[in-house]
Structure 1
Amino acid sequence: MSPRIALCAGETSGDQLGAGLVAALRERFPEAAFAGIGGDAMRAVGVDTWHDASELSVMGLAEVLAHLPRLLALRKAFRQRVLDWRPDVFIGIDAPDFNLGVERWLKQRGVRTVHDVSPSVWAWRESRAAKIGDSADHVLCLFPMEPPIYARHGVDAVFIGHPLADAIPLQPDRTAARIALGVATDARVLAVLPGSRLGEIQRMLPGFADAARRLAGDVAGLQVLVPAANAGCRAAIDAMLGDAPGVRVLDGQAQAAMIASDVVLLASGTAALEAMLCKRPMVVGHRISGLTYAIVKAFGLLKSAHVSLPNILAGETLVPELLQDACTPEALHAALLHWFRDADAVAALQPRFLALHESLRRDASARAAEAVAGLLATPR
């Protein structure tokens, strides 16, 4: 009998992950039925989407509170519809605030559950791993340090690799990226990524822009590329930068901008991983609200010695992290200038980044499908 597989992806990245997973599962189960919440990518591979992924894409505390009644009603109706559909497995893709609650409710009613993309248990409160196990029969992890944490809490988890590592070439073509963006092949280029949320942009871009202006005084003909994640981010970036000389704001194209650059200045997050996979030296700058930072410090919530994924994966400082009060335009400028002036340091970084890339390149979609197929093969 062909399996029924329910899924829920809550944003664009989850939709892409879901599409890759469904395509890999179809190779194993050609007649399988797929339904749930997803976007255009999941619909394109044949998922019957009862709701669009955009209905879950709410960011920021105020926005979440405003949409909370709608989200709670949607979750209640969705989980009941999943149960009535009687799937062989439910796969929650990222979006832990929504999916873990759905998974727990379904698991309590006898539905096998998978959570795809482990929350960052290695950074924040490892004890969450046990609670995630209350929701998911199986956790799919993008990073190798995650399954051992779950094992300590008796939770079944497997490292599948990172889809970005599969998608980005081991040796990205800088010349092709520059041609595609209309950048001279011999230009000196800085890519600036202040974040993909408006609050993050407002907090990070002024200091980043100041550092870039200082750098332009030391690096002749410097070109600065600033990718904007969406139209709202573009408007905010344009308003803050005005017509700054030597600066181009791009609509999307973050990966192309990183590949085309000599150095990347970015806020901590997935962008640091992407810059590493693009083999570009970077400076990581990050600030959170003073109150949040005080709480994190007071309660020891951050368990990792580093905040950027290249350093976390390497277990040492490969790239500078300038956080909170240390994240000043002067310090950012000095760290950036180091990469522009020290070719040997840049060259030494390349084999380290390549080794980390290879460690994450595991054909994530196929491995995820293998894990789901293994769960389906076990008796209830």
Structure 2
Amino acid sequence: MSVSRPLRVAILAGELSGDILGADLMSALLKRFPDAEFEGIGGPRMLSAGLKSLYPQEALSIMGLIEVLPHLFSLVRARNRLRDHWLANPPDVFVGIDAPDFNLGLEVVLRKAGILTVHYVSPSVWAWKQWRLKKIARAVDHMLTLLPFEADFYKRSGIPVTYVGHPLAEQIPLTVEQASSRLLLGLNADRPVLGVLPGSRGGEVKRLGEIFIQAAKLCQQQLPELQVVLVPANEKREAELRAIGFPGQWICATAQASQCMAASNALLVASGTVTLEAALYKRPMVIAYRLAALTYRIARRMVKVAHIGLPNLLAGKRLVPELIQDEVTPDRVAQQLLPMLREPFSGPLIEEFTALHHLLRAGGGETAADTIERLLIERGTLCR
């Protein structure tokens, strides 16, 4: 299959979890179209894969109903600039990765202009905001979902969809060796390790950082031999956590979440994609999340699911503890973590995580690239 010029792909990932997906998809597309050109918004992985950045990713990494308000003008301005750029220079396909509040509005305009639009990572419409389905139907030619039950939901709603699984399920082996990661992080191989991952957004660190640090200190008081690895998502988050303050003997492993997970006995994580990665590493975890008070009061009335953590959502039951809003205190968190740190990994829990791992091995970026190629052929952009 070929085009008479390089394939032009507009691609936009609003945060670090989307950067993983975007880079994986770009790699798969480059196998099919070695001269493909990519431009948009992404993180370090996508930039390394060849993305021409049109706007910094950090500017989009804002979550919440109320939290976004101070940034609304700059977000609207960024979206308008991107809209005007792509309307004047139409790509062959636009791929919006997650960030639905930003991407869907952009997709509506681009699709109306005749540009193929693909949305990668379903908005959580099955949990809340089901009224958004009408906008999704106007915005996207095709939805790519990470989770199988999401695909079923869209099929019932008549929206074209493909379940692709998660690329991390392909990249992470079913059994992960612990000793080498401990060696790389400078940890003692024979002492327990707690990994602390307080989120990739500034708001998450602001609301969870101090609580997570205090909870880890309480665990260390009960288990003096405990080693703690703190994982800021990037240098900016590291500076924010250092301003909060943490013991100098802790390992600060900025942007090394995977190594930390492999090395740890248990994890303390902010709710998000990182919980899925932790499950793929087969590590017990405590999931915690706090929102701005008004955002939480609004969301509590609208959310229709029993769990917030992806491992629990996928399993349809509570595999690991979840603490939300006022439940997230240093004492409560430490109480949940200590049994995980004192006991070896649970056989039944590992079996549950392994089943999820197999479920999520649906091709990831390769399946997503196959779908995009098929859509381009059907549209006539590519020749058979």
| TM-score with structure 2 setting the length | 0.88
Residues 66 and 7 of structure 1: CA distance in aligned 2, closer, same or farther (over 3 Å): same
Q: 1:336 corresponds to which residue? A: 337
Q: Give the alignment partner of residue 138 of structure 1, picking from 125, 137, 142.
A: 142
Q: Distance in 2 between matches of 1:40 and 1:335?
A: 34
Q: Distance in 2 between matches of 1:235 and 1:322?
A: 26
Q: Give the alignment partner of residue 94 of structure 1, picking from 91, 98, 101.
A: 98
Q: 1:241 corresponds to which residue? A: 245
Q: Distance in 2 between matches of 1:357 and 1:193?
A: 21
- Cα drift, residue 13 of structure 1: 4.1
Equivalent runs, 1:16-165 vs 2, <5 Å:
16-30=20-34, 32-38=36-42, 41-42=45-46, 44-47=48-51, 49=52, 51-54=54-57, 56-59=59-62, 68-165=72-169
What per-residue deviation string (whole Å, max 9, x for no partner) do you get for residues 330-357 of structure 1? Answer: 32222112223343x6222111111101
Give the aligned CA root-mean-square deviation in angstroms: 2.6
Q: Larger RCO: Structure 1 or Structure 2 (Cα < 8 Å, ≥ 6 residues apart)?
A: 2
Q: 1:323 corresponds to which residue? A: 324
| Mapped contact 1:238–1:249 kept (Cα < 8 A) | no
- Cα drift, residue 77 of structure 1: 3.8
What per-residue deviation string (whole Å, max 9, x for no partner) do you get for residues 203-234 of structure 1? Answer: 22333233323322332411111111222322
Q: 1:374 corresponds to which residue? A: 374
| Mapped contact 1:143–1:159 kept (Cα < 8 A) | yes
Residues 209 and 358 of structure 1: CA distance in aligned 2, closer, same or farther (over 3 Å): same
Residue 110 of structure 2 aligns with an amino acid whose one-letter code is L
Residues 52 and 288 of structure 1: CA distance in aligned 2, closer, same or farther (over 3 Å): closer
* Secondary structure, counterpart of 1:6 in structure 2: strand
| Mapped contact 2:39–2:54 kept (Cα < 8 A) | no
Deviates more, 1:63-72 or 1:93-102: 63-72
- Cα drift, residue 19 of structure 1: 3.2
- Cα drift, residue 126 of structure 1: 2.7
* Secondary structure, counterpart of 1:217 in structure 2: helix
- The reply on whether 1:362 has 2:362 as its aligned counterpart is yes
Q: 1:179 corresponds to which residue? A: 183
Q: Distance in 2 between matches of 1:22 and 1:214?
A: 43
Q: Distance in 1 between matches of 2:57 and 2:272?
A: 21
What per-residue deviation string (whole Å, max 9, x for no partner) do you get for residues 117-164 of structure 1? Answer: 222223222332332121001011111111122123221111101122
* Secondary structure, counterpart of 1:173 in structure 2: coil
- The reply on whether 1:210 has 2:214 as its aligned counterpart is yes
Note the residue ranges of structure 2 that are not aligned, 5 or more in a row: none
Residues 294 and 84 of structure 1: CA distance in aligned 2, closer, same or farther (over 3 Å): closer
- Cα drift, residue 31 of structure 1: 5.3
Residue 291 of structure 2 aligns with an amino acid whose one-letter code is I
Q: Distance in 2 between matches of 1:317 and 1:28?
A: 41
Residue 358 of structure 2 aligns with an amino acid whose one-letter code is E
- The reply on whether 1:228 has 2:214 as its aligned counterpart is no
Q: Distance in 1 between matches of 2:43 and 2:290?
A: 32
Q: 1:281 corresponds to which residue? A: 284
Residues 368 and 250 of structure 1: CA distance in aligned 2, closer, same or farther (over 3 Å): same
| Mapped contact 1:130–1:154 kept (Cα < 8 A) | no
Q: Distance in 2 between matches of 1:207 and 1:226?
A: 13
Q: Distance in 2 between matches of 1:363 and 1:204?
A: 34
Note the residue ranges of structure 1 that are not aligned, 5 or more in a row: none
Identity of aligned residues (%): 43
- The reply on whether 1:265 has 2:268 as its aligned counterpart is yes
* Secondary structure, counterpart of 1:122 in structure 2: coil
Q: Distance in 2 between matches of 1:236 and 1:39?
A: 19
* Alignment: residue pair count: 375
- The reply on whether 1:353 has 2:345 as its aligned counterpart is no
| Mapped contact 1:6–1:82 kept (Cα < 8 A) | no
What per-residue deviation string (whole Å, max 9, x for no partner) do you get for residues 184-206 of structure 1? Answer: 11011111122223332232233
| Mapped contact 1:258–1:264 kept (Cα < 8 A) | yes
- Cα drift, residue 41 of structure 1: 4.4
- Cα drift, residue 32 of structure 1: 4.7
Q: 1:199 corresponds to which residue? A: 203
Residues 325 and 190 of structure 1: CA distance in aligned 2, closer, same or farther (over 3 Å): same
